[in-house]
């Protein structure tokens, strides 16, 4: 309803703009004619006054009166000519103006809309628009607006708190760590900020859990024992410190607390097995290959990309590491080599993919069919190896 009211107002304004000059033509002409007569009358009075004061001669006064009379007659003739030519809005001109406004204007608008508009597009109710994904350009514009405000108001803790997880989601890890740090300083500590700060610090350090990250994660976990991200990074920190037995305990606890169908369980189980192997002094090998557990495929890696940055980074690298370790021990698994090469390509590690391809060819040097399959894979992925 509001839209039609707006259209009606616009139409009324357009009609007024079109009709007003035509409708007031007679009044304008009459006003102009009256004004000219008044001016010439004043000039005649001034001539008579100058003649009485002796400022001009009788001959000059006569000549001036003649000239003014000539001008007055010329102005009257001009007004009459314009009126006869159609300047006065008689009934015919009014009907013509009204017809143009009422008929021509809508028809012209309809033609333009059908030519350049999109009448065939279906309607989009508000609910559908709200469910539509946010355009990346719109996100960038919103981020830019928040950044501009924070440059003007750097003490706006709420702004830092809002933009920090956005930075983290878009893998701007250093910016995320700085934003979380400012939010913690200005708004105080809470579980979400502490966990996000620790994760951002670890990711900005290429997966190394530094002391500030460790302290933030421990503080978050002390507030909420169910935080899986905090547990994950603290277990990674134990691995990095060489505390494999403690890391194994942390992995077990995560498995006990986590959902049985969680997408990260396979990665945690693999890390637990490696931690147990290192604790016992055995070489850290991945699970023995089986038809049911052949190792990560390119599809597995693509699916992992839908996880959070922390889960994705750890899961992909650990799964590929486990597969590579197994193939180093058992190099006769052709399918395993093919999966490893594809996984490296999906990760963007083409140099390692080429090296894996070379190692695979070395293991199958006496198998023409396997070599043919590897060569086909190399050609398909545009690899040298």
Above 60 in pLDDT, residue 121? no
Choose between 58 and 282: higher pLDDT.
58
Return the SS3 of 282.
coil
Structure tokens given for 284: 């850290």
User: Rounded to whole angstroms, how far apart are CA atoms 58 and 54?
Assistant: 9
CB 79 within 8 A of CB 71: no
What's the CA gap between 229 and 185, in Å, rounded? 22
Average pLDDT, the chain: 74
- How far from each other are the two terminal CA atoms of the chain, in whole angstroms? 68
Instruction: Please state the rounded mean pLDDT for residues 162-184.
Output: 91
Residue 5 has pLDDT above 90, yes or no: no
Region 211-224 average pLDDT: 93
Residue 315 binned pLDDT confidence (cut-offs 50, 70, 90): low
Over range 186-193, report the average pLDDT: 94
Q: What is the pLDDT of residues 129-165, one digit of tens each?
A: 445 455 555 777 888 888 999 999 999 999 999 999 9
d(CA 144, CA 310): 25
Domain chopping of the chain, boundaries: 287-385
The three-state (H, E, C) secondary structure of 165-182, written as one string: HHHHHCCCHHHHHHHHHH
Mean pLDDT, residues 340-368: 83
What is d(CA 256, CA 199) in angstroms, rounded to the nearest whole number? Answer: 22
CA-to-CA distance for 269 and 276, rounded, in angstroms? Answer: 10
Asked if residue 18 lies in contact with residue 101, where contact means CB atoms within 8 angstroms, the answer is: yes
CA–CA distance, 57 with 165 (Å, rounded to integer)? 97
Query: pLDDT-derived band of residue 344, with 50, 70 and 90 as boundaries?
Result: confident
**What pLDDT is stored for residue 228 in this prediction?**
87
pLDDT (0 to 100) of residue 276: 85
247-289 confidence digits (pLDDT tens): 899 989 888 887 777 777 888 888 888 888 887 766 544 443 3
Of the listed ranges 43-52, 60-69, 256-265, 311-320, the one predicted with least confidence: 311-320
* Amino acid 104: pLDDT: 66
- Look up the pTM and report it: 0.44
> Does domain 287-385 fall into CATH 1.25.40?
yes
CB atoms within 10 A of CB 127: 7
Q: Is 100 helix (H, G, I), strand (E, B) or coil?
A: helix
pLDDT at 65 over 70: yes
- With 80 as the cut, is the pLDDT of residue 232 above it? yes
């Amino acid at each position: 309803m509001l839209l039609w009211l707006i259209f009606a107002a616009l139409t009324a304004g357009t009609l007024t703009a079109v009709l007003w000059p035509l409708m007031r033509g007679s009044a304008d002409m009459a006003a102009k004619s009256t004004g000219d007569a008044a001016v010439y009358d004043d000039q005649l009075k001034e001539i008579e006054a100058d003649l009485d004061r002796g400022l001009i001669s009788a001959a000059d006064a006569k000549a001036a009166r003649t000239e003014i009379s000539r001008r007055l007659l010329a102005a009257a003739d001009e007004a009459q000519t314009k009126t006869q030519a159609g300047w006065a809005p008689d009934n015919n001109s009014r009907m013509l103006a009204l017809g143009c406004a009422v008929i021509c204007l809508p028809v012209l608008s309809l033609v333009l809309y059908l030519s350049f508009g999109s009448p065939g597009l279906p309607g989009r109710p508000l609910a559908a628009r709200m469910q539509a994904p946010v355009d990346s350009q719109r996100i960038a514009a919103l981020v830019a607006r928040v950044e501009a405000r924070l440059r003007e108001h750097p003490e706006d803790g709420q702004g830092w708190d809002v933009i920090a997880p956005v930075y983290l989601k878009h893998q701007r890890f250093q910016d995320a760590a700085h934003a979380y740090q400012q939010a913690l300083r200005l708004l105080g500590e809470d579980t979400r900020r502490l966990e996000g700060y620790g994760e951002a610090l670890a990711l900005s350090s290429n997966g190394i859990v530094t002391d500030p990250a460790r302290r933030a994660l421990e503080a978050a976990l002390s507030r909420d024992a169910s935080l899986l991200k905090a547990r994950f990074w603290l277990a990674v920190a134990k691995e990095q410190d060489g505390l494999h037995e403690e890391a194994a305990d942390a992995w077990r606890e995560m498995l006990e607390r986590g959902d049985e169908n969680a997408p990260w369980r396979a990665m945690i189980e693999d890390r637990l097995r490696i931690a147990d192997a290192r604790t016992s002094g055995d070489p850290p090998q991945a699970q023995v290959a089986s038809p049911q557990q052949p190792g990560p495929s390119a599809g597995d890696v693509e699916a992992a990309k839908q996880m959070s940055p922390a889960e994705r980074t750890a899961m992909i690298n650990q799964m590929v590491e486990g597969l590579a370790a197994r193939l180093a021990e058992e190099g006769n698994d052709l399918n395993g080599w093919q999966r490893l090469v594809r996984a490296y390509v999906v990760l963007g590690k083409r140099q390692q993919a080429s090296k894996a391809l070379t190692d695979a060819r070395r293991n199958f040097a006496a198998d023409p069919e396997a070599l043919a399959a590897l060569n086909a894979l190399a050609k398909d992925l545009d690899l040298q190896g």
